[in-house]
Amino acid sequence: MEALEKNKTWDLVKLPRGKKPVGCRWVYTVKYKSDGSLERYKARLVAKGYTQMYGIDYLKTFAPVEKMNIVRVLLSLATNRGWKFQQFDIKNAFLHGDLEEEVYMDIPPRFGPNTGQVVCRLKKALYGLKQSPRAWFGRFTKVMLKLGYKQSQGDHTLFVKHSSTGGVTALLVYVDDIIVTGDDLEGMENLKICLRRASWVVNHQTPIEVNHRLRDALEDAAVDKRSYQRLVGKLIYLPHTRPNIAYAVGIVSQFMHNPKESHLTAVYQILQYLKGTPGKRILFKKGENLTLEAYTDADYAGSMVDRRSTSGCCTFLGGNLVTWRSKKQNVVARSSAEAEFRAMALGICELLWLKIILEDLKIKWEGPMKLYCDNKSAINIAHNPVQHDRTKHVEVDRHFIKEKLDSGLLCTPFVSTDGQVADILTKGLSGKLFQKLVSKLRMNDIHFPA
């Protein structure tokens, strides 16, 4: 129902005289994974298309369907020419089709009182309507033509676009499944972006939802424990080269003992993000100066399970990212400043370790070491020698940081929240901010180098 309302599928109107509404019903299905275990329960509103009358509720119904021959042709070409191959699922495909006919439908069961006087005037296609496949394909074709693609004369489900540099992108559509291949990698990426903007493709820009609320979720349906542990177990090693998923993997690994459906959904989002960004890597460049810098941040009381904060820390040597950590704090912080203060202590430990390595190699660096923090209260506590009652339980960290500051080995510049790259290691972020911080971590894509 949420998808229908978001798509503005209908308007509630009074039934015009002489018009007969089409009925509808809910169809409930259980979706299983490839291993036979339960994935989720699904409810779909379906119109009773068998009650539609030709010439009144619908006219044309034909929509082309791809043949397996053309699929095998593209597979052969991709194999022989080394083309990249991608597959997408269209989210709620039939709901995107625009209706040309005047169609009225009864109010869905459990949606409101069905008196027969107020009905749904359908603006968009709906599952079950006779013209839905044609309406969806017509809408999709218009979008592809607008993007500069040409419809193949040999198969109308094939759309082709040639770039100015001689590259080619081929798209094949089968109902709500799309296959994309070709040698124009930039064109393929632009196509994916366009489909995503149209909210057609389920493609996650981040590995975890912004402001997620993952908890034990005792009311959720349980999932197969071994399958969950195997998936997360494989993900645990990836943050060694992909700091952009370190926080997300750390979160889902907290529920290995009793995984629920919401936790598995979060794991799937990480996998979908990785699938959409296979070329992301850390880029090392030669810098002008050999500096030691660290960024630290904390998400105060972010855990929905025990309200512990998460520390994030990343260090740069000569401008290159060399270490990063996303770590749940051992005790509950009583303030955001305290949480940030503990993250600062973690960052200093990383810097001191790097200092030892460089000294062993007899390599000099430009000092002092810099520890960037976006919390002025935490910075003030670090420089303030006066003991406060509210910070007694973090006195060890305070004296540790103060000692390094007094020695001149370290300084703590303030950085704005927008420039705090460690933020990516403490919480789920919006797509725009996430991409910005990934870039600041000096991560780029081997397929689309900056």
- Residue 299's alpha-carbon distances to 303, 308, 430, in angstroms, are 9, 9, 15
* Residue 122, both tokens: 């359908």
Each residue of 233-290: pLDDT tens digit?
Answer: 999 999 999 999 999 999 999 999 999 988 998 999 999 889 878 888 998 888 888 9
Select from 281, 276, 280, 279 the least CA-distant residue to 86. Answer: 276
| Domain edge (last residue) among 150, 180, 197 | 197
Q: Compute the distance between CA of residue 419 and CA of residue 320 in angstroms, rounded to an integer.
A: 16
Domain limits at 373? 280-445
68 found inside a domain: yes
Neighbours of 164 (CB within 10 A): 6
Average pLDDT, the chain: 86
Residues 58 and 157 in one domain: yes
The whole model's pTM is what?
A: 0.61
Instruction: Extract the runs of DSSP E, i.e. beta strands, from 217-302.
Output: 280-282, 291-299
Burial degree of 36 (CB within 10 A; 0-12, 13-18, 19+): exposed
| Domain edge (last residue) among 157, 173, 197 | 197
Helices then strands, each counted (H, E), the chain = 11, 17
236 found inside a domain: no
Q: 252: phi > 0 → left, psi -120 to 50 → alpha, else beta; which?
A: alpha
248 found inside a domain: no
Residues 289 and 427 in one domain: yes
Each residue of 109-146: pLDDT tens digit?
Answer: 877 666 667 888 888 888 888 888 888 888 888 889 98
Residues 297 and 186 in one domain: no
State how many domains the chain has: 2
In degrees rounded to 5, what are phi and psi of residue 12? -85, 120
Each residue of 188-228: pLDDT tens digit?
Answer: 888 887 777 665 655 677 899 887 778 877 777 888 999 99
Secondary structure (DSSP) of 340-362: HHHHHHHHHHHHHHHHHHHHHTT
Each residue of 144-190: pLDDT tens digit?
Answer: 998 999 999 888 899 999 999 999 999 998 877 889 999 998 888 88
240 found inside a domain: no
Neighbours of 73 (CB within 10 A): 16
Residue 133: what pLDDT?
82
286 found inside a domain: yes
